[in-house]
């Protein structure tokens, strides 16, 4: 485990406890990594005599971005303040930070063991800061001019917590414009506390993000199926999920009865294919 020196080159706070941080290597450039992987950061904790505390965060910037890592981080404040994030949110642009080489198993499936290309629609479902790896994946797929249909669904408690909303809306508008026939992208968000005063301007989907998969009794279709224009099946759609374990469990509750197989299930298909890959925290 070799620490590398970095500098916090950019900070954008959406709220007092949620923000985007860019970490620029002091020497060289960002090493190669796969979209979906994480980088481990390190900071000295004053209250512990300068002891280095490390935490891993999914990388939001794509592998093509070699100048910096971009991270989407929430300051953990309950039930007790997070040792690392409390230090991080006190830092300013220009402050030093340590980082370890990116790693992690989470990422896109492009080909199966038998060499077949994965061509199904990609649906990425994120709760909170679980959106980070999907920003990396989306921008990477765009850089590759991948022709698969991509849908990003993001859930948050408050409108102010819809990080990357501007970027994702722009990416959808580029798809709708149709200037690039290889780019097929849709973005939708959901607010789980629509009755809160801070969310009074919200006119979009309401409820937890997994309710995009819930059938409307009047139509027999889910909001996701209304969006893509067809029934969602294991034959036409691959799911990626990231967020709290409750979000993952909620998604699986809707998908398993439809025949979707998660990567970690023992009873995988004979050809080793699966339909749901996830990463959870907490």
- Summarize pLDDT for 199-249 with one digit per residue, the tens: 999 999 999 999 999 999 989 999 999 999 999 999 999 999 999 999 999
- Position 271 confidence tier, pLDDT thresholds 50, 70, 90: confident
Per-residue model confidence (pLDDT) at position 86: 93
Helices and strands, number each (H, E), in the chain? 5, 12
pLDDT at residue 272 tops 90: no
Per-residue model confidence (pLDDT) at position 259: 94
Per-residue model confidence (pLDDT) at position 181: 78
Q: Is the dihedral of CA 222, 225, 230, 231 positive or negative?
A: negative
Query: Could you give the domains of the chain?
Result: 4-103 (2.40.30.10), 121-281 (3.40.50.80)
- Summarize pLDDT for 148-161 with one digit per residue, the tens: 999 999 999 999 99
The mean pLDDT value for 131-145 works out to: 97
- Position 2 confidence tier, pLDDT thresholds 50, 70, 90: confident
Share of the chain above pLDDT 90, in %: 85
Per-residue model confidence (pLDDT) at position 49: 86
Per-residue model confidence (pLDDT) at position 155: 97
Share of the chain above pLDDT 70, in %: 99
Task: Give the integer Cα–Cα distance in Å for 266 and 256.
Answer: 14
pLDDT at residue 282 tops 70: no
- Summarize pLDDT for 82-106 with one digit per residue, the tens: 899 999 999 999 999 999 999 999 9
Per-residue model confidence (pLDDT) at position 9: 98
- Position 137 confidence tier, pLDDT thresholds 50, 70, 90: very high
Per-residue model confidence (pLDDT) at position 48: 86
SS3 of 277, please? strand
Classify residue 72 as exposed, middle or buried by CB count within 10 Å of its CB (0-12, 13-18, 19+): buried
Segments in the chain forming alpha helices (H): 83-88, 132-143, 165-177, 223-228, 245-255
pLDDT at residue 177 tops 70: yes
- Any idea what DSSP says for residue 33? -
The mean pLDDT value for 139-154 works out to: 97
The mean pLDDT value for 192-199 works out to: 94
- Position 41 confidence tier, pLDDT thresholds 50, 70, 90: very high
Per-residue model confidence (pLDDT) at position 166: 96
């Amino acid at each position: 485990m070799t620490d590398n020196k970095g500098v916090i080159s950019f900070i954008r706070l959406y709220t007092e406890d949620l923000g985007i941080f860019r970490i620029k290597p002091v020497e060289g450039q960002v090493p190669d990594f796969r979209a979906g992987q994480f980088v481990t950061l390190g900071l000295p904790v004053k209250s512990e005599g300068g002891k280095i505390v490390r935490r891993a965060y999914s990388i939001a910037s794509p592998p093509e971005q070699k100048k910096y890592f971009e991270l989407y981080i929430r300051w953990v404040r309950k039930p007790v303040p997070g040792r690392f994030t409390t230090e991080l949110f006190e830092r300013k642009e220009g402050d030093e930070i340590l980082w370890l080489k990116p790693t992690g198993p989470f990422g896109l499936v492009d080909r199966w063991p038998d060499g077949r290309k994965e061509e199904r629609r990609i649906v990425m479902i994120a709760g909170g800061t679980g959106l980070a790896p999907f920003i990396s994946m989306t921008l990477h797929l765009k850089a590759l001019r991948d022709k698969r249909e991509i849908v990003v669904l993001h859930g948050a408690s408050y409108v102010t917590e819809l990080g990357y909303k501007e970027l994702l809306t722009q990416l959808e508008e580029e798809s709708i414009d149709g200037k690039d026939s290889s780019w097929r992208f849709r973005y939708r968000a959901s607010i789980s506390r629509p009755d809160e005063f801070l969310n009074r301007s919200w006119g979009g989907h309401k409820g937890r993000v997994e309710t995009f998969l819930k059938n409307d009794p009047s139509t027999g279709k889910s909001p996701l199926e209304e969006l893509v224009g067809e029934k969602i099946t294991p034959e036409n759609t691959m799911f990626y999920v990231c967020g709290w374990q409750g979000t993952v469990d909620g998604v699986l509750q809707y998908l398993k009865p439809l025949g979707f197989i998660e990567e970690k299930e023992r009873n995988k298909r004979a050809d080793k294919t699966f339909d749901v890959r996830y990463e959870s925290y907490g």
